[in-house]
């Protein structure tokens, strides 16, 4: 067998093994899982998640997921906890301890301290009969038959199972809270994902100049307006209403024809009924309209009145595309 085939077979075997382990988790769920979710949901405090080694890394990720979906959470390293960080835990906090074996020395020292403080404790462990499992109020069974590591030593399948159990907790809590896309945007204001959820057309069009000419404007005036406003387009207006649109493409097509343009006006070359969008619409809606009709600009309205232009480049700049 060549090296490439060997590598691919190992990768496929790893994915298959971990996939099977994840699928088995649903069979391990008990009322403890539902009770743990309700405990966190009804808690007046935060969720403190602790672990050591690879489990600590998983704990950090679960903390990030909970925080981003409306459940306040803090990471506390199990080793640091017994050297001062235990002060992170307040009286109303719920503690989640993550450990594959549930019998590590750090866990055996930490768990009694948490119990003495009367905080409720949830275990995510692969050994429900371990010290951690026996001492916790609720046990989320993350048992796996074997690690993907051929020596059955390096945490691989087990940490994947822990992560999936944390995701299941977070999503159940998200649904209980009725956490919406608007809430998500509030917690994710940065980056393209957040912008897709909160950025509106007016946030973009208001940063642009507002190209417009009247119906009887000369071709020279149209060319000057399109050139000066640098959006490749101008609205043709009648009063404060949109009557049509002229793009730089329209101008090129007109100039390529053998016609006398001296007496032409905007209304002679404009396209009527142009694509338009309300300024209060989401920017992502503007993106979908542009993609649907294969255009680069949309005229923007507010209460039926012309208010500006949103350009494809605006969406690219903000990471919407």
User: In this structure, are residues 274 and 299 in contact, taking their beta carbons and an 8 Å threshold?
Assistant: yes
* Buried-state track 264-300, b at ≥16 Cβ within 10 A, e below 16: ebbbebbeeebebbbbebbbbebbebbeeeeeebbbb
CA distance 46 to 38: 13
The structure's pTM equals 0.66
Task: Report the 10 Å Cβ neighbour count for 220.
Answer: 10
Tens digits of pLDDT across the chain (321 residues): 589 999 999 999 999 999 999 999 999 999 999 999 999 999 999 999 999 999 999 999 999 999 988 899 999 999 888 887 888 899 999 999 999 999 999 999 999 999 999 999 999 999 999 999 999 999 999 999 999 988 988 899 999 999 999 999 999 999 999 877 666 666 655 555 666 667 889 999 999 999 999 999 999 999 999 999 999 999 999 999 999 999 988 888 888 775 677 788 999 899 998 999 999 998 889 999 999 999 999 999 999 999 999 999 988 888 777
Q: ∠ CA(73), CA(95), CA(162), 5° rounding?
A: 80
User: In this structure, are residues 74 and 46 in contact, taking their beta carbons and an 8 Å threshold?
Assistant: yes
């Amino acid at each position: 067998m060549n090296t490439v085939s060997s590598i691919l077979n190992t990768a496929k075997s790893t994915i298959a093994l971990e996939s099977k382990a994840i699928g088995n988790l649903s069979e391990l769920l008990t009322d403890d899982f539902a009770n743990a979710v309700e405990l966190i949901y009804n808690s007046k405090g935060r969720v403190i998640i602790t672990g050591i080694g690879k489990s600590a890394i998983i704990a950090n990720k679960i903390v990030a997921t909970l925080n981003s979906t409306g459940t306040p959470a803090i990471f506390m390293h199990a080793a640091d906890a017994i050297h001062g960080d235990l002060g992170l835990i307040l009286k109303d906090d719920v503690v989640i301890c993550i450990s594959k074996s549930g019998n590590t020395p750090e866990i055996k020292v930490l768990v009694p301290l948490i119990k003495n403080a009367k905080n409720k404790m949830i275990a995510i462990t692969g050994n429900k009969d371990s010290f951690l499992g026996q001492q916790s109020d609720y046990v989320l069974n993350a048992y796996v038959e074997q690690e993907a590591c051929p020596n059955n030593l390096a945490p691989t399948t087990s940490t994947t199972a822990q992560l999936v159990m944390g995701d299941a907790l977070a999503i159940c809590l998200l649904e209980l809270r009725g956490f919406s896309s608007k809430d998500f945007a509030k917690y994710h204001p940065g980056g393209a994902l957040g912008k897709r959820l909160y950025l509106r057309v007016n946030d973009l069009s208001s940063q642009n100049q507002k190209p417009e000419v009247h119906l009887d404007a000369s071709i020279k005036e149209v060319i000057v307006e399109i050139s000066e406003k640098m959006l490749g387009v101008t609205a043709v207006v009648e009063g404060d209403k949109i009557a049509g649109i002229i793009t730089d493409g329209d101008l090129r097509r007109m100039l390529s024809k053998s016609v006398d343009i001296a007496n032409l006006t905007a209304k002679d070359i404009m396209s009527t009924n142009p694509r338009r969008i309300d300024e209060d619409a989401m920017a992502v809606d503007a993106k979908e309209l542009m993609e649907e009709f294969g255009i680069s600009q949309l005229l923007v309205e507010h209460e039926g009145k012309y208010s500006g232009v949103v350009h494809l480049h605006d969406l690219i700049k903000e990471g919407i595309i």
